[in-house]
A = this chain, B = another copy of it.
Amino acid sequence: MMRVPVLEIFGPTFQGEGAVIGQKTMFVRTAGCDYSCSWCDSAFTWDGSQKDRIRMMTGEEILAELDGLAPNNYSHVTISGGNPALLKNMSGFVELAKERNIQMAVETQGTVFQEWMKDIDDVTISPKPPSSGMVTDYGKLEKVMAGLDAGGACYNFKVVVFDEQDFEYAAHIHQKYPDVAFYLQVGNPFLGDNVADHTNKLLERYNNLVDMTMKDQRMNDARVLPQLHTLLWSNKQGV
């Protein structure tokens, strides 16, 4: 049986960020990541703090849980992590969901390609900027892109920006691959529970990122977005 490590299944909720921002969706969050970004907002997927919650699930089991949570009340699923692209066995769920005509999105940093990613309607590749502490392996990134291109898949880049160095990294990625739809996302450095005045702090940072984007000719065809779920619900998990 093809099983994958699942940390959370929740919804219906909406996608708060990126290319399909606003979309009504269910979330399947897998455990495990090949990165350990300094500011990861889902560090519980890889830092061991919630390892007792991980369940090894088949595609059938995932689909049954989605159906139980939202009977007839979803037609879109977002696969997130962690890095779901580590999981070859995710093909089990993807095939079942595709048979049901469920639309799917996935987010990954672009380090590993899996064949099932060709069946995903919207693939977001989110290479990590310097503030994350990670270093981009462009060879791996281009292998992922080549795999998606070969399958005629629809993908986009999303780069999270915390500071000017991150913004330069984003401009580098966008200029290197100018034909890929490009999204800038404002970083959220205010993690944890009960962040005071979180919405206004994030909107101030978003305003700054908008300003930088408007002034920079390299970003003429970029899109710049906040995380809507964080504006509404701060850092609450499972929504």
Most chain-B CB neighbours within 10 Å: which of A24, A207, A231? A24
> Is B203's CB under 8 angstroms from A200's CB?
no
A210: chain B residues at CB < 8 Å are 13-14, 232
Considering only residues 200-229 of chain A, those with a C-beta below 8 Å from chain B are: 200, 203, 206-207, 210, 213-215, 217, 219-226, 228
Mostly, the A contact residues are mixed
Q: Which residue of B lies closest to A18 (CB)?
A: B22
Cβ–Cβ contact A231 & B203, under 8 A: yes
A183 within 8 A of partner (CB): yes
Which residues of chain B have C-beta atoms less than 8 A from A76's C-beta?
220-221
Q: Are B22 and A220 in contact (CB under 8 A)?
A: no
Residues of B within 8 A of A219 (CB): 24
Interface centre among A203, A219, A223, A226 (most CB of B within 10 A): A223
CB of A39 within 8 Å of the partner chain: no
Give Cα A20–Cα B19 distance, bound, in whole angstroms.
Answer: 9
Contact with B along A1-44 (1 / 0, CB 8 A): 00000000001111000001111100000000000000000000
Q: Using Cβ atoms and an 8 Å threshold, which residues of chain B touch A217?
A: 72-73
**8 A–B pairs (Cβ distance < 8 Å), ordered by A:** A14-B213, A14-B214, A21-B223, A22-B184, A22-B224, A73-B217, A203-B231, A226-B228
